[in-house]
Structure 1
Amino acid sequence: MLEGKIVHSTSDSYGTILVVDYPRYRVLSFDSIYEQSGFYLEKPYAVVHEYIRIMLLVLGFTEPRHATLLGLGGGSLLRSLHHYLDHCDFHVVELRSKVYDIARDYFDIPDDQRVWVSIEDAGLQIQSSKNASTDIIFADLYDAYHMSPLQVQKQFAQECSRTLTRNGWLVMNFHRLPDTHSAFFIALTEHFSTLLVCSGEFGNHILFACKSHSVNYDQVPAKLKNMEAILDETFMPLFHRLKPVAI
């Protein structure tokens, strides 16, 4: 990491957790060269990292009433979603209780009746979830250096499909896209009718999977322009990088 001031340090059975302040923003780090989350102190709902902005592109296609976030980190995605979506409820699943404590104490995550946080393994939670109980599942499951193996398991794709509503979306953050011949990817094509990908400038690849055949692209520009106005961010150039997955 670049030079910064450590304002909080703790650890649990999974490792060290640091909160580091820089002149413009605050960072959550799991004691590695990577930033798990970023936070502008003067503008809490703004997005520091590009891959979060890419994940938000899904809101150009759908207006969720319920969203599930697998992995909290410093709450960047949750803060932006909560600020933009006035009538959406959120279920956040975070494995590490100390990560949740830090997100609450240092990263100003929303805490109201629309947000429900479970301290639980994401795989177990998604297995126990009710059928058709959420409109979007965001999967961003990482430790200090690696993505959770759960995100490339065949059963994970199946359980997410079961949990999503009829036109639901699964949005996943990958450092490397899964092989299109893998059991996981084959399961995706069996359970999801639309697969899109947007690659970031810093190595992240966001995979969007929708259960519906009929995805309305015409509505996206207007929705993203509205989101740009509310979040004071830029989304349209990212949308133009979105493309179907080559199978």
Structure 2
Amino acid sequence: MNFPIDIREEAGVRTLHFGSDWIQGAMRIARPWRLELDYTREMMVSLLLRNDARFPRKVLLIGLGAASLTKFLYRYYPSAKLTVVEIEPRVVAAARQFFKLPEDPLRLNIVIADGAQYIAGNDKTYDLILVDGYDADARPGELDMLPFYQMCQASLNHNGVLAVNLLGRSRGHQASVERIKTAFNERALALPACDSGNVIALATNGDKLEIPLHKLKEQALELKEKTSLNLSPALTRLEQTKSCFGGMLTI
């Protein structure tokens, strides 16, 4: 892959770019563990879908960027083992040099590989899979194809959760959501696009999920007390989806 990697700073925020103004990741220098970008916060709605103190114990992240999701989970979920698959070694080097990516081989395994090829050749299973992989032109390639989503479904444990950043491409995200629904037997939803245009899709394995919205809000408050992450705006927008009816989230 041949693209420049640029690091910029403005108003206390350091950003990662692949040779364009498109932000590939961001970190507030004074609070490096904080999820600075809206879409990264929305991907953490996945943490609310399983009310289990042991969730998640095994996490696969495809796409490293500025390591925002990796650092958040590393800090606040100390019992979780994280595997991060990043195709470009220079991104890993930049994350270590500029974005405080931790060095901890016992809890954090960084793999230089193509995400689709890695999951195809790997028989491990995970509680949570987070997909946020794009090239310099904001194209996901194989990471937005039905076979890849089917492999994600097969790589999740019973009651596992998938979260995907779909970027809200100009042609729309609906085709991507339909592929995820196909792979997960309709057990998926998409949050309404956030201000940046990103669309987060969530999918679940295992038993049918039915959670009262008030319970989700209680869990979100507990998460906020633990991490300072405020998911209330995301839950408000989740209520706008067809998966919420009669005060119940059903996937």
TM range (shorter): 0.7 to 0.9
Corresponding position of 2:249: none
Cα gap change, 1:16/1:174 in structure 2, threshold over 3 Å: closer, same or farther?
A: same
CA distance in 1, matches of 2:14, 2:57: 30
Asked if residue 107 in structure 1 is aligned to residue 104 in structure 2, the reply is no
SS in 1 for 2:225: helix
Corresponding position of 2:235: 239
SS in 2 for 1:217: strand
SS in 2 for 1:43: coil
Quote how far apart the aligned CAs of 1:50 are.
0.1
Quote how far apart the aligned CAs of 1:142 are.
1.0
Asked if residue 122 in structure 1 is aligned to residue 115 in structure 2, the reply is yes
Q: Which of 143, 154, 158 is the aligned partner of 2:150?
A: 158
Task: Provide Cα deviations, 1:187-240, integer angstroms capped at 9, x if missing partner.
Answer: 633534521211211211000011234224244222211221232232112112
Corresponding position of 1:52: 40
CA distance in 2, matches of 1:245, 1:217: 11
Corresponding position of 2:9: 21
SS in 2 for 1:36: strand
Quote how far apart the aligned CAs of 1:158 are.
1.1
CA distance in 1, matches of 2:230, 2:179: 33
Asked if residue 43 in structure 1 is aligned to residue 43 in structure 2, the reply is no
* RMSD between aligned residues: 2.0
Asked if residue 210 in structure 1 is aligned to residue 192 in structure 2, the reply is no
SS in 1 for 2:222: helix
Task: Provide Cα deviations, 1:119-149, integer angstroms capped at 9, x if missing partner.
Answer: 0011110101215x10111111112222212
Task: Provide Cα deviations, 1:23-63, integer angstroms capped at 9, x if missing partner.
Answer: 31111111112111001111111111000000011111122
SS in 1 for 2:23: coil
Asked if residue 85 in structure 1 is aligned to residue 77 in structure 2, the reply is yes
Corresponding position of 2:131: 139
Corresponding position of 2:182: 189
Which AA in structure 2 matches 1:203? G
SS in 2 for 1:16: coil
CA distance in 2, matches of 1:66, 1:49: 24
The normalised TM-score by structure 2 is 0.85
* Matched positions, count: 231
Corresponding position of 1:5: none
Q: Gaps (5+ residues) in structure 1? A: 1-12
Task: Provide Cα deviations, 1:105-128, integer angstroms capped at 9, x if missing partner.
Answer: 110012222100000011110101
Which AA in structure 2 matches 1:127? A
Cα gap change, 1:228/1:187 in structure 2, threshold over 3 Å: closer, same or farther?
A: closer
The normalised TM-score by structure 1 is 0.86
Cα gap change, 1:70/1:190 in structure 2, threshold over 3 Å: closer, same or farther?
A: closer
Q: Which runs of 4+ in 1 moved over 6 A?
A: none
Quote how far apart the aligned CAs of 1:186 are.
4.8
Cα gap change, 1:106/1:179 in structure 2, threshold over 3 Å: closer, same or farther?
A: same
Quote how far apart the aligned CAs of 1:245 are.
6.3
Cα gap change, 1:104/1:162 in structure 2, threshold over 3 Å: closer, same or farther?
A: same
CA distance in 2, matches of 1:21, 1:80: 21
Corresponding position of 1:174: 166
SS in 2 for 1:46: coil
Corresponding position of 2:140: 148
Q: Which of 82, 86, 100 is the aligned partner of 1:94?
A: 86
SS in 2 for 1:129: coil
Asked if residue 221 in structure 1 is aligned to residue 217 in structure 2, the reply is yes
Which AA in structure 2 matches 1:84? Y
Which AA in structure 2 matches 1:61? L
